[in-house]
């Protein structure tokens, strides 16, 4: 009887130890699995943060690149438009001289030979100024918006028409285009300012600007 009791005790103790060990191992493995899952989650989070950071850097680089491109484009537009303005100023200056010589020659026939010499020089300089203007028009065509391009083309067309009248010694014909020409200059200046984002001129400010207003008069 005592032996049986001892055996039962041994079995009980062994079973208890086995159950306890099993429970401990199960708990350990469960905790280990949780830790592993947490570690994997952290790795995933780190990867996600890296992806977001990389994407952010790429977006920042693209934005910086776009801003740089826009700035360079604006500078190219500015340079081409200012080149056109300078060319137009030169054209106007040589046109005034050209017109003055033609008008003087028509009113002083006895001095025709001397006038023709000066006229030849005036025509040469005026033609060179128009060539420079043509180069500026091509640049504006390539870089600027439609309004700036079309208004400058209109100015160039009228420059040519006024020139043709003077070549034919028709001062009145050239003067007849004066108002239309200045209107086209005004339109181009407005388009230029809009293109560069510096505001549009008003009729009041146009009257005091370097370019005459549409209703202003040619000297002489």
Whether residue 142 is predicted with pLDDT greater than 60 in this model: the reply is: yes
Question: Whose CA is closest to 125, among 151, 149, 158, 99?
Answer: 99
Percent of the residues in the chain that have a pLDDT greater than 70, as a whole number:
60
Q: Which residue has the higher pLDDT, 181 or 210?
A: 181
Q: What does the pLDDT look like over 59-74, one tens digit per residue?
A: 666 666 677 788 888 8
Q: What does the pLDDT look like over 2-43, one tens digit per residue?
A: 444 445 544 444 555 455 545 655 665 566 555 555 566 556
CATH number for the 73-207 domain, one of 1.20.120, 1.10.60, 3.30.810, 1.10.287?
1.20.120
Whether residue 116 is predicted with pLDDT greater than 50 in this model: the reply is: yes
Burial class (CB in 10 A: 0-12, 13-18, 19+), 155: buried
- What are the boundaries of each domain within the chain? 73-207
- DSSP class per residue in 178-220: HHHHHHHHHHHHHHHHHHHTS-PPPHHHHHTSSSPPTT-----
The answer to which of 46-60, 69-83, 113-127, 150-164 has the lowest mean pLDDT is 46-60
Q: What does the pLDDT look like over 149-173, one tens digit per residue?
A: 999 999 999 999 999 999 899 999 9
Query: For the residues 114-138, what does the mean pLDDT come to?
Result: 90
The verdict on pTM exceeding 0.85 is no
* Cα–Cα dist 1/192, whole Å: 118
Whether residue 80 is predicted with pLDDT greater than 70 in this model: the reply is: yes
- Per-residue pLDDT at 10: 46
Whether residue 99 is predicted with pLDDT greater than 60 in this model: the reply is: yes
């Amino acid at each position: 009887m005592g032996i049986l009791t001892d055996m039962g005790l041994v079995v009980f103790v062994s079973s208890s130890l086995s159950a306890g060990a099993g429970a401990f191992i199960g708990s350990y493995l469960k905790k280990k699995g949780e830790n592993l899952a947490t570690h994997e989650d952290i790795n995933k989070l780190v990867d996600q943060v890296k992806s977001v950071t990389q994407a952010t850097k790429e977006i920042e680089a693209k934005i910086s690149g776009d801003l740089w491109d826009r700035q360079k484009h604006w500078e190219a537009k500015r340079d081409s438009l200012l080149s056109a303005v300078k060319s137009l100023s030169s054209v106007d200056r040589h046109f005034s001289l050209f017109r003055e010589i033609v008008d003087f020659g028509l009113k002083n026939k006895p001095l025709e030979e001397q006038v023709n010499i000066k006229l030849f020089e005036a025509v040469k300089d005026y033609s060179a100024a128009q060539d420079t203007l043509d180069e500026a028009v091509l640049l504006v065509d390539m870089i600027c918006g439609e309004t700036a391009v079309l208004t400058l083309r209109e100015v160039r067309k009228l420059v040519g028409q006024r020139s043709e009248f003077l070549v034919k010694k028709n001062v009145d014909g050239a003067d007849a285009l004066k108002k239309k020409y200045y209107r086209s200059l005004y339109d181009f200046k407005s388009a230029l300012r809009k293109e560069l984002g510096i505001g549009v001129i008003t009729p009041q400010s146009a009257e005091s600007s370097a370019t005459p207003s549409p209703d202003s008069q040619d000297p002489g």
